[in-house]
Chains A and B, each alone.
Chain A
Amino acid sequence: MTSLLIITSVEKLQSRINSIIKSFINIPGIYVSLNKTQKSTENILQEAGIDTKKLFFIDCVTSERTRDDVVHIAPTELDLLSSAINDFIKDIKGEEFLIIDALSTLLIYNHENEVAKFVKKVTEFASQHDTQVAAFSPATKGEELLNDDIFNFFDKVEK
Chain B
Amino acid sequence: MEKTKNFQKILLPLTVILIVLLAGILFPQLTSFVIKPFESFNLEVEIPKTYEEVLAGENMWFTTKLLNLGSEKRKDVTLKYEVFDADRKLKSSKSETVAVETQASFVGDIGIPKNSEEGPHFLKVTLISPFGEYEAETSFNVIKEETKNQVIIKFSLFDIQIAIPNDYKIIYPGDELLASIKLVNLGSAGRIDVFLEYWIIDSEQKAILRNKETVAVETQANFVRTFDIPKDVKPGKYSLHAKLIYADGKKAEAENSFEVVKKQIDKKIYYGLTGLLGLIILISIIYKSGHLVKKIQLWVKVRRIVKKREIK
A residues with a Cβ closer than 8 A to B are 28, 53-54, 56, 68-69, 71, 73, 79-80, 83-84, 87-88, 91-93
What separation, in Å, do the CA atoms of A91 and B307 have in the docked complex?
Answer: 8
Chain B residues with Cβ below 8 Å from A88 are: 302, 306
What separation, in Å, do the CA atoms of A91 and B291 have in the docked complex?
Answer: 21
- Establish whether residues A84 and B310, one from each chain, have CB atoms under 8 Å apart when the complex forms: no
Partner of B306, one of A68, A79, A80, A91: A91
What separation, in Å, do the CA atoms of A128 and B310 have in the docked complex?
Answer: 23
Chain B residues with Cβ below 8 Å from A71 are: 298, 301-302, 305
What separation, in Å, do the CA atoms of A84 and B299 have in the docked complex?
Answer: 7
Please tell me if B250 contacts chain A, counting CB pairs below 8 Å.
Answer: no
Given contacts A56-B305, A69-B305, A92-B306, contact A87 B298 (CB under 8 A): yes
- Establish whether residues B310 and A87, one from each chain, have CB atoms under 8 Å apart when the complex forms: no
Within residues 258 to 312 of chain B, which ones have a CB less than 8 A from any CB in chain A?
Answer: 291, 294-295, 298-299, 301-310, 312
The residue of chain A having its C-beta at the shortest distance from the C-beta of B307 within the complex is: A91
Chain A residues with Cβ below 8 Å from B301 are: 71
The residue of chain A having its C-beta at the shortest distance from the C-beta of B306 within the complex is: A91
Q: How far is the CB of B305 from chain A (nearest CB, A)?
A: 5
- Establish whether residues A80 and B298, one from each chain, have CB atoms under 8 Å apart when the complex forms: yes
The residue of chain B having its C-beta at the shortest distance from the C-beta of A77 within the complex is: B294
What separation, in Å, do the CA atoms of A93 and B311 have in the docked complex?
Answer: 13
Partner of A91, one of B294, B295, B302, B312: B302
Name the residue among B298, B302, B303 with the largest chain A CB count within 10 angstroms.
Answer: B302
What separation, in Å, do the CA atoms of A91 and B310 have in the docked complex?
Answer: 10
Partner of A84, one of B298, B304, B307, B308: B298
What separation, in Å, do the CA atoms of A92 and B306 have in the docked complex?
Answer: 6
- Establish whether residues A69 and B308, one from each chain, have CB atoms under 8 Å apart when the complex forms: yes
- Establish whether residues B295 and A80, one from each chain, have CB atoms under 8 Å apart when the complex forms: yes
Given contacts A56-B305, A71-B305, contact A93 B310 (CB under 8 A): yes
Q: Besides the contacts A53-B309, A84-B302, what 5 more A-B pairs have beta carbons closer than 8 Å?
A: A73-B298, A80-B298, A83-B299, A87-B299, A88-B306
What separation, in Å, do the CA atoms of A68 and B307 have in the docked complex?
Answer: 13
The residue of chain B having its C-beta at the shortest distance from the C-beta of A73 within the complex is: B298
What separation, in Å, do the CA atoms of A87 and B306 have in the docked complex?
Answer: 10
- Establish whether residues B298 and A83, one from each chain, have CB atoms under 8 Å apart when the complex forms: yes
Q: How far is the CB of A70 from chain B (nearest CB, A)?
A: 8
- Establish whether residues A56 and B306, one from each chain, have CB atoms under 8 Å apart when the complex forms: yes
Q: How far is the CB of A15 from chain B (nearest CB, A)?
A: 27
What separation, in Å, do the CA atoms of A23 and B64 have in the docked complex?
Answer: 105
Chain B residues with Cβ below 8 Å from A79 are: 291, 295
